[in-house]
Amino acid sequence: MATAPVAAGLKPPTKPRSKPRDSISSWPWTDRIAYGLCWAAGIALCAIAAWIVLYMAIKGVSYLKPSLLVQSPLGSPDQSGSGGFLDPIEGTFLVTAIGIAVAAPLGVAVAVWLSEYARPAGLARAVESGVETIAGTPSVVLAIFGLLIFSKSFLAFLSQTSAGGAVFGRSFLTAGLIMSLLAIPLIVGSTREALAQVPAHVREASYALGKTKATTIRRVLLPSVRPSIASGITLGMGRIIGDTAIIVILLGASLRLEGAGGAPILSILRGTGSTLTSYVKENSPAGEGNAPQKAYAAAFVLLMIVIALNAIVMRLSRGQARADGTV
C-alpha cells in the first residue's frame, strides 16, 4: 500500500527528541534551594572521598618502601629508626584467619538453623535477637568480656601462664576468638538472605526425589548460596581487619610476634604480637612510636587490603545474583 506523499517542507524526525525535563527555573524557590543542597551534598561527598583517597595514596606511596614490608619492627617502643612492619602484617593475617575459621562454621550453622528449622519459634527469635545484640555491641565491651573469661585458669591453654601461675589471657587465640564474634552476625545475615532467596520449588524438588532435609541442605542449598557465604565471610574479614580495640586489649601489645614456648605453631598462636591497626595507632601521635611516616605506610597497606576485600565482595555478590537468576 502506497504511503501518502509527505507534504513538502516537512521532514521526518532524524534523531530522538531529548527526554522532557522540567526546567529547574520553573520550580518554586524552596525546591530550587533543596536542589542546590542536593548537588552540594553530592559534590561534597565526592570531594571528601577524593581527598581521603588521594591523601592516603600520596602519603602512603611516598612513605611505603618495600623494605618496610619485609623487616620486623624494632624492639623498642620508639620506631623512628629502621625496621618495618612485617610482624604486624603477619599478625593481621593470623588474627583474621583464626577469627574466620571460628566464625564461618558457626555463622553458617546458625543461619541454616534459623532459616530451615527454627523450632521452637521462641528460641529462634531469641537466637535472632542474640545475633543482633552482638552486631550492635561495641567491640570494647566484647574485648573486656574476653579478657575476663580468658583469664580463668580452665582457659589457660589459650594463652600463656607465667612462672608464678598468673594466666596472661592475651594471645592470638583469645583475640581471634573474640574477633569471630564480630564476623558472625555478618555471615549469618548474608547466608540467611541468600537462603531466603532460594525458591521453594528447589527444596520441594529435592524432597520429591526422596532426599532428607539434612541432605538437601548439604547437597543442594548450601552449594547454591556459596557466593553469599563467601561474601559474608569477606565482609566479616573486612570488619575483623579494621578493628583496633580488641587487638589493643587482647593481643598483648608486643611489637613482634613473641611465642609462648612449646610446639612451634601453637607457640605463636598462644603468644602475643601486634597487627597493622595497633601498629598504626602506636606510631601515630597518640602512641609512643614517634614514626608518623611508618604509620602512613602501614595505614596505606591496610587500606589496600580492605579495598581488595571490597572488590572481592562485589564480584562475589554479582556471582550470586547471576546464580539466582536476578541478574
Partner 1 sequence: MSGGSRDRRAELTLGTVAVGVLALIALMVVIVFTKAWPSFAHNGLDWFGAGGDADVQLKAMIQNTPLPGHSIYYFRAWPLLWGTLLSTGLAVLIGLVFSTFAAIFIVEFAPDALRRVLDPVVRLLAAVPSVVYGLIGILAIAPWVERNFISQQRKHSVQQVVQLTGANLGLAILILTVMITPIMVAITSRSLAAVPRTWTEGSAALGVNRWRTTWRVSLRTARPAIIAGAVLATARALGEAIMLSMVSGSRGFAANPLDGTTFFFEPVRPLAATIISYVDGLSVVPLAQTLYAMAAVLLVSSAMLSLAGWAAKQPLKKYGIRA
Partner 2 sequence: MRRPSRTLIVSLIAAVALTAPAAAGARALLLSGSTSIFPLMTQLAAAYHKATHQPTPKVGQGTSDAGINEVAAGKVDIGDVSRDPIIGVDPHGLVFTKIARDGVCVITNPKNPISNLSQEEVKAIFTGSVRDWSEVPGAKISGSIDLVDRVASSGTQDAFQNIFLGETLKISPSAEAEESNGLVQNKIRTDENAIGFVSFDFTPGTNAVGYQGIPCTLANAKSGQYQGVRNFWMVTKGVPKGAAAKFIAWITSGNAITKKIIGSDWIPIH
Contact positions vs partner 2 (CB under 8 A): 75-78, 151, 156-157, 160-166, 168, 253-254, 258, 260-263, 266-267, 270, 272, 285, 287-288, 290
Specify which residues 161 forms β-bridges with: 167
Which of partner 2, partner 1, none does 67 bind, CB closer than 5 to 8 A by kind? none
Three-point CA angle 85, 245, 259, nearest 5°: 50
Task: State how far the Cα of 300 lies from the Cα of 69, in Å rounded to an integer.
Answer: 12
Interaction of residue 37 with partner 1, rule CB under 8 A: yes
Provide, rounded to whole angstroms, the least separation between the CB of residue 213 and partner 1.
5
Which of partner 2, partner 1, none does 293 bind, CB closer than 5 to 8 A by kind? none
Site for partner 1 in 249-308 (CB under 8 A): 249, 277, 280-281, 284-286, 292, 295-296, 299, 302-303, 306-307
Which of partner 2, partner 1, none does 42 bind, CB closer than 5 to 8 A by kind? partner 1
Give 11's contacts (C-beta < 8 A, 6+ positions apart).
none
Which of partner 1, partner 2, none does 155 bind, CB closer than 5 to 8 A by kind? none
Which of partner 1, partner 2, none does 72 bind, CB closer than 5 to 8 A by kind? none
Of 87, 24, 120, 106, which is closest to residue 258 (Cα–Cα)? Answer: 87
What is the per-residue DSSP string for 42-82?
A: HHHHHHHHHHHHHHHHHHHHHH--HHHHHSPPPSSS---SS
One residue of 64, 112, 195, 268 binding partner 1 per CB under 8 A: 112
What are 323's three cell numbers?
546464580
